[in-house]
Amino acid sequence: MRQLCEAFAARLGAAGTTLCACWRFERRDGAVFGASDHDRVLEVDGVSYAPARGIEGARLTATADLSPGRAAARGALDADFISEADLAIGLWDGARVDVFIVDWRAPEHRVLVWSGRLSDVRREGAAFAAELVSLKADLERPVGRVFQKTCDAEVGDARCGVDLEAGAFRGAGVVSEVVSARMVRASGLSAFADDWLRLGRLSWTSGANAGASGFVVRHGAGASAEIELAADAVHAIEVGDAFVVTAGCDKRFATCGAKFANRDNFRGFPHMPGNDAVFAGPSDRHANDGGRR
């Protein structure tokens, strides 16, 4: 049950109310933005809530059990704080959303009615559409580890321990030829063998795509190395665009040792018997003396 101060409760019980909805957005990079369905800018706890101007809120749902409540929001891409570029590079993915009911005459009187995250943000023509899910969705995340042969760490993270800033695992390239929206030829990567950078991350440092990143699915070595990304670049790639790219890992034990010399930190179970061992039975071609297990 939400607790309301007496003054706010009295306002809610009045014949005429001066209430509005305020939406507080906090992106993954820590930037905070506000929007409201009021017709004037409101200041609440140091955050400015501007008139929504194109953001339409849907009915918010909450449940008494552990199932996550859901909501949705739509708006124009020219909203003050939501840009097409930021949506395209994923800055809004997973952003925190808090919805308040506020008395616009006395903004200190407010109540939090819903909290959640943007679970999916996509473009729909000239507008954006965002699916929201309540914070209870965090309870649906798997807890613990799965026994599997492959590593469950991400290359370069704390559990992996590989230093991706080392010269052997990081390169800086400059586009010398644009083959397609997801494939380029680049200089500066001649020190790396074929597919050394495959499954790595490429981050653009200049050009229209600066700040965006993508995964490498193919790497051809040479003075003019070929780099193919998993998806088209957000904006057109131009000759001269610069990027940094790190080595990728296929999460196999052999790769962990041969490529990264990191077997001690391997986070899988490479010697775990597979289904073939589980279902294997006695053979009439070999002596079954118990020594084969």
Output the pLDDT for position 226. Answer: 96
Question: Average pLDDT in the 171-181 region?
Answer: 95
Are the C-beta atoms of 246 and 170 separated by less than 8 Å? Answer: yes
Write out pLDDT tens, residues 250-271.
999 999 999 999 999 999 999 8
Work out the percent of the chain whose per-residue pLDDT is above 70: 70
Highest mean pLDDT among 36-40, 75-79, 221-225, 287-291: 221-225
Is the pTM higher than 0.85? The answer reads no
pLDDT computed for residue 254 by the predictor: 95
pLDDT higher than threshold 70 for residue 66: no
- CATH 2.40.30 domain residues, the chain: 167-246
In whole angstroms, what is the distance from residue 194 CA to residue 171 CA? Answer: 14
Q: Which residues pair with 131 in a beta bridge?
A: 72, 120
The alpha carbon of 266 is separated from its chain's Cα centroid by a whole number of angstroms, namely 24
271 HSE (CA, 13 A, CB side): 2
pLDDT for 146: 80
CATH of domain 6-140: 2.30.110
Say which DSSP state 272 is in: -
Mean pLDDT, the chain, integer: 80
Q: Is the pLDDT of residue 170 over 80?
A: yes
Average pLDDT over residues 282-288: 67
Residues of the chain with CATH 2.30.110: 6-140
Class for domain 167-246, per CATH?
A: mainly beta
Helix locations, the chain, DSSP H: 6-13, 84-88, 253-258, 275-279
Confidence band (pLDDT; 50, 70, 90) for 161? very high
pLDDT score at 76: 41
pLDDT grade, residue 61 (50/70/90)? very low
Give per-residue pLDDT as tens, 92-138: 778 888 888 888 888 888 888 888 887 766 666 555 666 777 666 66
Does 212 or 254 have the greater pLDDT score? 254
Apex 187 CA angle, 182 and 189, nearest 5: 90
The average pLDDT across 24-52 equals 85
Q: Which residues of 142-156 are buried (b: 16+ CB within 10 A; e: fewer)?
A: eeeeeeeebbebebb
What is residue 142's predicted lDDT score, i.e. its pLDDT? 66
pLDDT band for 238, please (50, 70, 90 cuts): very high
**Confidence (pLDDT) at 95:** 84
